[in-house]
């Protein structure tokens, strides 16, 4: 977008910035329909301009859709139902600022992957059993509550866990699965190489 065109959006960008940075709901960000009402039908272009301004600050405008599958070319109607918020581009840095340990992040990655592999849901009991094999048992319940509190997971009254808005916003689910599969494959190959080979049977004389 040209500098002249960006200038035309200056007032709208200022308004969008105020709306996105000012927390008015339990969850961060603003619904698309709110931006549509305040900025007009071209609010997606306004957000693109704002995103350009945020790049030098290592921040970006993130979009989270209600459905887990993100539309390739979302319509205005779909964007109106989505949620927009400002986030750091470097998620790892953000997690460090939150005081997350490596094993906490590993537990989150395992949990997200497990839920994805189970078609988007899993019982808390099953997830606790899985995490208990990877991290200290006393941390399992605390970590799951933390993932829920930070918006990565949600839990219903039946004890089922689902991926929540923050996972859809911050986690490249396909890349995560590919990375874990690659790690498992490498681990299996390393184990196979290190395993002692059975001695060959000597021929009877």
pLDDT (tens digit per residue) in 87-146: 767 654 454 445 677 788 888 888 988 898 888 899 999 999 999 988 888 889 999 999
- Total count of domains within the chain: 2
Please name the residues in contact with 96: beta carbons below 8 A apart, sequence gap of 6 or more: none
Q: What pTM value is reported for the model?
A: 0.55
Q: Are residues 116 and 75 both part of a single domain? A: no
Q: Could you tell me the pLDDT band of residue 204, with boundaries at 50, 70 and 90?
A: very low
CATH assignment of the domain containing 135: 1.10.10.1210
Please name the residues in contact with 12: beta carbons below 8 A apart, sequence gap of 6 or more: 39, 40, 43, 46
Q: Are residues 138 and 179 both part of a single domain? A: yes
Q: Are residues 57 and 127 both part of a single domain? A: no
Domain carrying residue 152: 96-183
Q: Are residues 153 and 83 both part of a single domain? A: no
Tell me whether residue 168 is exposed, middle or buried, using C-beta atoms within 10 angstroms of its C-beta: 0 to 12, 13 to 18, 19 or more: buried
Report the pLDDT value the prediction gives residue 97, as an integer from 0 to 100. Answer: 44
- Helix (H, G, I), strand (E, B), or coil: what is residue 53? helix
Q: Is 200 part of any domain?
A: no
Contact predicate 35/7, CB 8 Å:
no
Q: Is 199 part of any domain?
A: no
């Amino acid at each position: 977008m040209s500098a002249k065109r960006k200038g035309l959006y200056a007032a709208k960008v200022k308004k969008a910035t105020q709306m996105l940075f000012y927390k008015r709901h339990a969850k961060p960000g603003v619904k698309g329909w709110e931006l549509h009402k305040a900025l007009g039908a071209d609010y997606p272009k306004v957000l693109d301009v704002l995103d350009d301004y945020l790049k030098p600050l290592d921040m970006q405008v993130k979009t989270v859709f209600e459905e887990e599958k993100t539309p390739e070319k979302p319509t205005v109607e779909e964007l109106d139902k989505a949620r927009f918020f400002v986030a750091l581009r470097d998620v790892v840095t953000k997690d460090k600022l939150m005081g997350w340990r490596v094993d906490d992040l590993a537990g989150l990655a395992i949990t997200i992957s497990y839920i994805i592999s189970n078609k988007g849901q899993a019982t808390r009991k099953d997830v606790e059993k899985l995490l208990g094999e990877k991290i200290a048992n006393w941390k399992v319940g605390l970590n799951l509550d933390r993932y829920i509190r930070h918006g990565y997971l949600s839990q219903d009254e039946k004890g089922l866990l689902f991926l929540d808005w923050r996972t859809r916003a911050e986690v490249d689910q396909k890349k995560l699965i590919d990375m874990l599969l690659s790690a498992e494959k490498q681990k299996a190959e390393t184990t196979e190489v290190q395993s002692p080979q059975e001695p060959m049977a000597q021929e009877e004389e």
